[in-house]
Amino acid sequence: MEKNIVHIVPQVEVRVIECGPLRIGGRVRIIMPDGSVLVKRRTFICRCGRSKTGLFCDGSHAL
Ligand code: FES
């Protein structure tokens, strides 16, 4: 039975930070609404809607 289990090593980790952003670790490609592409190894995505930078956390959630 054990031999049917496929072990997958995740390449991207998404961590939910309590009362804060999503921390995305790993090489990711982000396609923005204007079509521009960002490649990052680690990024923090705003979940609170208060960031002055739009998509990315700028620490405003803590104010
Ligand atoms: S989660 Fe940090 S500014 Fe929104």
Query: Which pLDDT belongs to residue 3?
Result: 76
Higher pLDDT, 48 or 1: 48
- Contact assessment for residue 56 and residue 30, using Cβ atoms and an 8 Å cutoff: no
Name the one residue in this structure whose structure tokens are 């998509």.
Answer: 55
pLDDT digits (tens, 9 = 90+) for 1-39: 567 887 888 789 999 999 999 999 999 999 999 999 999
The reply to whether ligand 1 has any atom less than 6 angstroms from the CB of 58 is yes
The reply to whether ligand 1 has any atom less than 6 angstroms from the CB of 50 is yes
Query: Which pLDDT belongs to residue 2?
Result: 65
Domain that holds residue 58: 2-62
Q: Which is nearest to 14 in space by CA: 39, 45, 49, 38?
A: 45
Name the one residue in this structure whose structure tokens are 């680690």.
Answer: 42
> Looking at the 3D structure of the chain, how many domains does it have?
1
Query: Which pLDDT belongs to residue 44?
Result: 97
The reply to whether ligand 1 has any atom less than 6 angstroms from the CB of 21 is yes
Please identify, by atom number, the ligand 1 atom nearest to the C-alpha of residue 58: 3
Query: Which pLDDT belongs to residue 56?
Result: 95
Q: Specify the pTM.
A: 0.80
Q: Which residue minimizes the CA distance to atom 2 of ligand 1?
A: 57
